[in-house]
């Protein structure tokens, strides 16, 4: 997925009923991803950490892009580029 597709998918998850929004750049903004992470349930957060561990040895060092992808994978919203 492109950064634009990722940002749109996360916005759709976080604000499904809003017609217009000021879009955030989840792929490049750790603060935006932190806000998104807060909405995960405890179980989802565990799954999210496992997704991050598959990409980076220390999840705390994950980039905003890596976190955004893991977030969407956790929620089964990731679309492969096949």
Structural domain of 7:
3-74
Assigned domain for 46 exists: yes
> Does the reported pTM lie above 0.85?
yes
Distance between CA atoms of residues 56 and 35, nearest Å: 21
Per-residue pLDDT, averaged over 54-81, amounts to: 93
Domains in the chain, number: 1
Residues 6, 79, 69, 39: what is their CA dihedral angle, to the nearest 10 degrees? 80
Assigned domain for 52 exists: yes
* Residue ranges of E strands in 1-82: none
Whether the CB-CB separation of 65 and 3 falls below 8 Å is answered with yes
Assigned domain for 39 exists: yes
With cut-offs at 50, 70 and 90, classify the pLDDT of residue 82.
Answer: low
Distance between CA atoms of residues 12 and 5, nearest Å: 10
Reported as a single tens digit per residue, the pLDDT across 16-27 is 777 766 788 999
Assigned domain for 63 exists: yes
Residues 69, 34, 17, 1: what is their CA dihedral angle, to the nearest 10 degrees? -20
Reported as a single tens digit per residue, the pLDDT across 27-58 is 999 999 999 999 999 999 999 999 999 999 99
Assigned domain for 28 exists: yes
Assigned domain for 82 exists: no
Assigned domain for 79 exists: no
Q: Supply the pLDDT for residue 16.
A: 78
């Amino acid at each position: 997925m492109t950064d634009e597709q990722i940002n749109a998918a996360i916005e759709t998850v976080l604000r499904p009923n809003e017609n217009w929004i000021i879009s955030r750049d989840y792929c490049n903004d750790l603060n935006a991803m932190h806000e998104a992470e807060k909405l995960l349930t405890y179980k989802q957060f565990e799954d999210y950490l496992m997704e991050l561990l598959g990409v980076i040895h220390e999840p705390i060092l994950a980039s905003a892009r890596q976190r955004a992808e893991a977030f969407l994978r956790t929620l089964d919203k990731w679309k492969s580029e096949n």
